[in-house]
Amino acid sequence: MSKTQNNIVIREATAEDLPVIFSFIKEIAEYEKLPHQVAANEEVLNESLFGKRRYAEVLIAENNGEPAGHAVYFHNFSTFIGRPGIYLEDLYVRPQFRSKGIGKALLISLIKIAKERNCGRLEWAVLDWNEPAISFYKKMGAVPMDDWTVFRLTEDKIKGFDI
């Protein structure tokens, strides 16, 4: 657990945080105009985040003891540098807590974790219309990877392969 200025606490999530994590997920989906894509529920999240095999980790940000935001991340790997990296899946701060340094505190906590784990990269994607996030990330020194295109196979496509 790390405490920053302005009564912001960043801590690792536990299974008791599942209702808050799920609430954050639904809120970010609403913000991104994608609520129809949320198929997760607390049971699925519990298995994926706190089950036998943890597929992702979560940091919770609290402001004066109130849940303010979270960062969901997992390890990836770069064959070019031969080391792990961290992929930031979600960085979310509730509207009433924005512009208080919470997003920055979450990102700095992730940078510390990346350093401790000898990661060569910290990467994430941002919707191209999300100018506040893009501006924030650039201020933090992040560089857009304009020469790369993200591809995705969804669950229905994966299940559709006859293998």
Residues with catalytic function: 137
Three-state secondary structure call for residue 161 = coil
The tokens 């910290």 sit on which residue? Answer: 122
Q: Phi-psi category of 25—alpha, beta or left, where left has phi over 0 and alpha has psi -120 to 50?
A: alpha
Angle at 17 between CA 12 and CA 23, to 5 degrees: 115
Local structure of residue 79 (DSSP, 8 states): T
